[in-house]
Amino acid sequence: MAIYVGQPAIDRGDSAVNVNLTILLEALVALASGTITQIESYWANRTVGQDLYVGLFYNIGGSNWKCRSAANLGPVNLGYNITTGLNLAVEIDDILGYWNGPEGAGLDKDTGSATLYIADNQCIVSNEASFANYGARILSIYGTGGEVAVGTLGKTAHMAAKMMEARAI
């Protein structure tokens, strides 16, 4: 099963400029557990060379959220961007968050789903923070991936299982 978090990375004709804020998107929560392998984003304005940090967050009570997994995607440019080859753990009901740096940047936006915010980079594994309501916005950042196959073993685990099986005889 495919896993999706965030909102499609498309040109929405407007932008939300954020300076030194971590933004969480409450729309499109993960409906399965697995791995996010790709992040897409669409930027209306951006400081060239500015890194983008992303994280997957889960609620730990009330307005408090904790970062489960995170990555620095490096610099992204104006317009459409895609980063592949990621390995971000995601669980059911996780939401996507991002920090765009101290210079500020504007993801394409529209009115719609709830977003949350807090100052500084919270896209750091195990960081916990209390986020405030940022209003109803659809922001153009989107993560995709898939479920981890149950019952499959990696090469090392498979070899270890075979060795243990041989010892039992």
Phi, psi values for residue 159, rounded to 5°: -65, -40
* pLDDT tens profile 56-91: 999 999 999 999 999 999 988 888 999 999 999 999
Helix (H, G, I), strand (E, B) or coil at 107: strand
Q: Which structure tokens are listed for 1?
A: 């099963």
Q: What per-residue confidence (pLDDT) applies to 112?
A: 62
Look up the domain containing 77 and give its range.
2-167
Q: Residue 162, SS3?
A: helix
Number of domains in the chain: 1
Count how many Cα atoms sit within 13 Å of the Cα of residue 15 in the half-sphere of its side chain. 16
User: pLDDT, tens digit, for every residue of 39-56?
Assistant: 998 887 766 678 889 999
CB 60 within 8 A of CB 128: yes
